Amino acid sequence: MLKGHQSWIFENNPKIRAVGTVVGPFEGQGPLANDFDIIHGDLMLGQDSWEKAEKTLLEEAAKLAIENAGLTQEQVNFFIGGDLMNQIISSSFAARTLAIPYLGVFGACSTSMESLALAANLVNSRSAKFVLASACSHNAAVEKQFRYPTEYGSQKPPTAQFTVTGAGASIVAEHGKGVTVKSATIGRIVDMGITDPFNMGAAMAPAAVDTIQAHLRDLRIEPGYYDLIVTGDLSRIGYEIACDLFEKHKIQIDQTKYYDCGMMIYNYEEQTVQSGASGCGCSAVVTYGHLMKRMLKGELKRILVVATGALLSPISFQQGETIPCIAHAVSLEMEDKI
């Protein structure tokens, strides 16, 4: 049901019945390693291209989520997924393997919550019994497409972010134990005129704040309603800017209750990731791996995940365009009784 101008309340309480998370070797060295289902030791995943490796990550995550939900592929009504590759080939080729009716989406790194918001909406309105939602990225595939081949060894400024190799998938269902998808807010494009693709955190922070403001306004709640608000993926630079903007706009968010997915998956002391992590897979694996596990353990009851995306392309950058950014928010709640 529409709430306010751009939010949905899911009054039928759709559930995330199961999830699947698959990551690469570098993510397996980070602080959240224990929260992921599969950690690959080989960045190629036994494939002959980075692109095929990314598709394989997603296929594995999707199959895990379907199995963990106690379903077969034939029972899943729709698959909603997207990624950063041109023409979202990772998701489309995985959709071929899965043979589930498919809705391709693109929101750059906001895809994780775009797909989850739409999946929850379809289940809530009885337009589906089971929906598979996903997002994925692969560091080497993304570097090659958006920047330089990894082998070139180009230097990066400290504002740059490191693309996560990972895929996260979930099954949203009418019934089930576990985490409820309570509401979602679909973001508008915010573009503050930044043109530097090595400073995406700064570009995306205003979009995250705009969507959080819209969410609080549409739902008529205060930030304190949530045990945790998590953006993704602003990383260190963007996180600081978001904090400044909260203060400027008088949004009272307790900084101990505000995290960013881009700052959670790597160990800054030991892993060279500049400002932090990014990529469609980042907020997907942090949410479905780490945050959901904390909710199921009872450590967190209500969280708001605000996935952010920088909707540029190499062509738009080369033509001197600024970076349009977006953020989609989904609120997750744990019922008292399990």
Contacts with a second copy, residue ranges (CB under 8 A) = 1-2, 5-6, 8, 49, 51-52, 77-78, 82, 84-89, 92-93, 95-96, 99-108, 114, 118, 121-122, 124-129, 145, 186-189, 191, 214, 311-316, 319, 321, 324, 326
Give 273 or 311: the residue with its C-beta nearer to a second copy: 311
Give 124 or 165: the residue with its C-beta nearer to a second copy: 124
CB of 111 to a second copy, least distance (A): 9
CB of 49 to a second copy, least distance (A): 6
Task: Measure the CA–CA gap between 49 and 52, rounded to whole angstroms.
Answer: 5
Q: Which of 291, 109, 329, 311 is nearest to 212 (CA)?
A: 329
Backbone torsion region of residue 35, taken as left when φ is above 0, otherwise alpha when ψ lies between -120 and 50, otherwise beta? alpha
CB of 36 to a second copy, least distance (A): 27
Q: Are 57 and 22 in contact (CB under 8 A)?
A: yes
CB of 319 to a second copy, least distance (A): 6
Give 11 or 270: the residue with its C-beta nearer to a second copy: 11
Give 152 or 336: the residue with its C-beta nearer to a second copy: 152
Give 125 or 271: the residue with its C-beta nearer to a second copy: 125
Compute, in degrees rounded to 10, the torsion defined by CA atoms 183, 189, 191, 192: -40
Q: Which of 80, 101, 291, 39 is nearest to 169 (CA)?
A: 80
Task: Measure the CA–CA gap between 30 and 265, rounded to whole angstroms.
Answer: 6
In the 3-class helix/strand/coil scheme, how is 24-40 assigned residue by residue?
A: CCCHHHCCCHHHCCEEC
Q: Are 234 and 204 in contact (CB under 8 A)?
A: yes
Give 87 or 267: the residue with its C-beta nearer to a second copy: 87
CB of 34 to a second copy, least distance (A): 34
The HSE-up count of residue 234 (CA atoms within 13 Å, CB side) is 28
The length of the chain, given as a count of residues = 338
Q: How many CB atoms lie within 10 A of CB 126?
A: 9
Backbone torsion region of residue 292, taken as left when φ is above 0, otherwise alpha when ψ lies between -120 and 50, otherwise beta? alpha
CB of 9 to a second copy, least distance (A): 9
- What the block records as the tokens of 32 is 């959240």
CB of 197 to a second copy, least distance (A): 12
Task: Measure the CA–CA gap between 182 and 337, rounded to whole angstroms.
Answer: 16
Give 40 or 215: the residue with its C-beta nearer to a second copy: 215
Give 191 or 196: the residue with its C-beta nearer to a second copy: 191
Q: What angle do CA 106, 116, 316 make, to 5 degrees?
A: 15
CB of 99 to a second copy, least distance (A): 6
